Amino acid sequence: MNEAALPPDDRGLAYGDGVFETVLVRDGRPVLWEEHLARLARGCTQLGFSPPCRDELDVLPGKAPQGLSVLKLIVTRGSGGRGYLAPADPAPRLLVQHLPFAPAETRWREGVRVRLCALQLGIQPLLAGLKHLNRLENVLARKEWSDAAVAEGLLCDSDGHLIEATCMNLFWLRNGRLETPKLDRCGVAGTLRQALLAEHSISEVEAGPSRLQEVEALWLGNSLQGLWPVTRLDDSEGRALITWAIGERHRRLQNDAQRLLGYPLLP
């Protein structure tokens, strides 16, 4: 697979015709690597081209600087085809970036304030769960607020079901049971979510934002940041809707995430 610079006719630029991964790397070792590779392969397959071969990917984390960093992989269908018509024999392109990274540790301890976004995600089962390059909805949702005190925005789909935050998945505890939104019609199925689902009994559910009135704890998380407990939820105009006190019930799931990502446990 070609690992060079991007020519102007690349379909990743032209149409967002590709997928990406942002992988936490610690001292040259990738975190949740199998989950990232699996999602990357699933995405390429769903779009109809071959994923990079494993050997080519396995050497990349070793090239990261010491300490923590993010390995960003973009795989596009490459050039060619005629307009939207994909080339019959695509030559996918792999782009690799190593980016500096430090998690927002304060948010592990103190939790975060989040808000509901007004934007509703379009429903597209053929792309649901994938980390593809068509992310304008996320960009527009993230533009809904500029208050630095608000850490994330929660997104519903056009049927009013809670799906995700702009760059994180949602988890909550309701009647003592863990739940997370079903992602079979839109949203990105995060690798931390994948790893937590494999370890825990977490139900994938369809629920609107009113469900959050009933939850004992709410977290947002991804494979770079771990889990943030939510202490306050605002509506899309910034008015407080619900508050939660951080308690022992938050720390258990958080510490499972900390373990999965190699971060220190919280007291």
> Which residues between 58 and 87 bind a copy of itself (CB under 8 A)?
74, 76, 83-86
131 near a copy of itself, judged by CB under 8 A: no
Choices 34-42, 121-129, 171-179, 226-234 (CB under 8 A): range interacting with a copy of itself: 121-129
What tokens were used for 170?
Answer: 């949602």
Segment near a copy of itself (CB under 8 A); pick from 6-14, 52-60, 61-69, 107-115:
6-14
Work out which of 26, 98, 113, 142 binds a copy of itself, going by CB under 8 A: 142
Residue 170 contacts residue 183 (beta carbons within 8 Å): no
Q: Is 131 a catalytic residue?
A: yes
Q: Which of 69, 79, 166, 180 binds a copy of itself (CB under 8 A)?
A: 166
CA distance 31 to 192: 10
* Catalytic choice (76, 131, 152, 191): 131
Confirm or reject binding of residue 183 to a copy of itself (CB under 8 A): no
From the candidates 21, 35, 152, 164, give the one annotated as an active-site residue: 164
What is the DSSP track for 143-209?
TT---TTEEEEEEEETTS-EEEESSSEEEEEETTEEEEE--SSSSB--HHHHHHHHHS-EEEE---G
- Which helix H or strand E contains 117, and what residues bound it? strand 112-121
Q: Using CB under 8 A as the criterion, what x/- string covers residues 205-244 for binding a copy of itself? A: ----------------------------------------
> Hey, what amino acid is at 15?
Y
**What distance in Å separates the CA atoms of residue 52 and residue 1, rounded to the nearest whole number?**
6
| Residue 167 is a binding residue for a copy of itself (CB under 8 A) | yes
Joined together, the tokens standing for residue 88 give 């019959």
Among 1, 2, 14, 103, binds a copy of itself (CB under 8 A): 14
3-state secondary structure of 28: coil
Q: Which is nearer to a copy of itself, 5 or 59 (CB)?
A: 5
Is 16 near a copy of itself (CB under 8 A)?
yes
138 Cβ contact list (under 8 Å, min separation 6): 166, 167
Which one of residues 123, 150, 205, 241 is an interface residue with a copy of itself (CB under 8 A)?
123
- Residues classed as catalytic: 22, 131, 164
